[in-house]
Amino acid sequence: MAFTTGNFPPVDPASFMDRSYQERIKTLARHWAEYGFGSPKVIMVMYLLKLSFFYAVGGVLVATLTSGLNPLHPSAWFFQPVVYEKAVLWTVLLECLGFAGSWGPLAGHFKPMSGGLHYYGRPRTIRLPPWPDKVPFTKGDSRTPFDVLLYVALLAALVVSLALPGVHTHGIDRALASNHGLVAPPAIIAVIGLLVTLGLRDKVLFIAARSEQYVPALIFMAFFPFVDMIVAAKLLIVTVWVGAGFSKGNRHFPNVLGPMVSNVPWLPSKAIKRLHYASFPEDLRPSKLTHRIAHGPGMFGELVPPLVLLFSHNHWVTLAAAVFMISYHLFIISTFPLAVPLEWNVLFMYITAFLFLGYPNQHGFGLSDMDTPLLLVTLAGLLFFPVLGNLRPDLVSFLPSMRQYAGNWASAMWA
């Protein structure tokens, strides 16, 4: 893989489509096993620059400068709750615009590299209401000027919530002596209301905004007392991790691991890539090694350390688990997965440090410190869709079900 030249399949584009479907699949699958997507390295550099400067540096500047903090003094702002809240809101804004996950060539977007704004901001594009026969005023599959107006209003609400300075609410001053407040709850409520309303009109936008993860976090920010907000956020991130880990316990996930390793840009060794297949090039099913990795370390990483973080009251144990999870997300970023949820991984790295190192369980931010009725309601809300979605996957999208690795990709094939 050269810096500006990709590794393309050894085929003649003019005649390739004349070959049978089976032959095309065989040729492309064998090429993928050794080269992955085959992108030139300049593509990865472009993603890293976007992630580092546009998302990370841009997010820090937005969160700090609007909150009376100096972006050049990370020790002063890193554990500020208002920065955490604005990091989530900044990510939601970019997801809604189409500038975060599923952006660029690795997601099949070339010219333009973003889909979101070009779809959601134009009338007469396709929309998919989740329950058109059950929810009034949602029928139809064409985006109307009203849908575009709602979308623009959502973007405006997100910008306003980011621009407003922090306010001292939800008992933050009692729990945290030195703070710069929290995002004003009415601003967050407006974002929640618009996201839900848009979601009832178009489930694609709702899912693309990663609402199954961010809407609960926004609800905690808008309505929960400060300590309860922090503990609920811990429950949320652990639910996401454990749900993903649990969804790997199947016969499908080993089939994901090999192609993912094949796409790692910093792994030039074809021999190592071939080890993940039963017998390259004739048998591209997962090897025994791949099965062991998938159902061993692959599941362990998202099941055990998250639970340690949730229950640990020991500083060093918590630190070790947090470093593990941060490294885990850093590794995922380095593989450049095709959905390219890079911003999401950076956000989870920050949230891991913010929640579990900045507000450890033993300092009054553990499960026992949360209001008991609110704790039970939060647990019920966070587990409802994962439980229902695993029992009835026909009723719930794989994202709210936390079934990220439960076979959803099996329907994606080369055409």
What integer pLDDT is reported at residue 65 of this predicted model? 98
What integer pLDDT is reported at residue 1 of this predicted model? 57
What residues have CB less than 8 Å from 350, skipping those under 6 apart?
Answer: 84, 87
Beta-carbon count within 10 A of 332 CB: 18
At residue 252, the 3 state secondary structure works out as coil
- Compute the distance between CA of residue 391 and CA of residue 197 in angstroms, rounded to an integer: 27
The pTM (predicted TM-score) of the whole model is 0.93
Task: Specify whether the CB–CB gap between 402 and 240 falls below 8 A.
Answer: yes
What integer pLDDT is reported at residue 268 of this predicted model? 85
- Quote the DSSP letter at residue 379: H
Ranges of residues in the chain with a pLDDT under 50 are: 409-415
What integer pLDDT is reported at residue 408 of this predicted model? 56
If 0-12 CB within 10 Å is exposed, 13-18 middle and 19+ buried, where does residue 181 land?
A: buried
Number of helices and strands in the chain (H, E): 20, 2
| Start-to-end CA span in the chain (Å) | 25
DSSP assignment of 32-92? HHHHTT---HHHHHHHHHIIIIIIIIHHHHHHHHTTT--TT-HHHHTT-HHHHHHHHHHHH
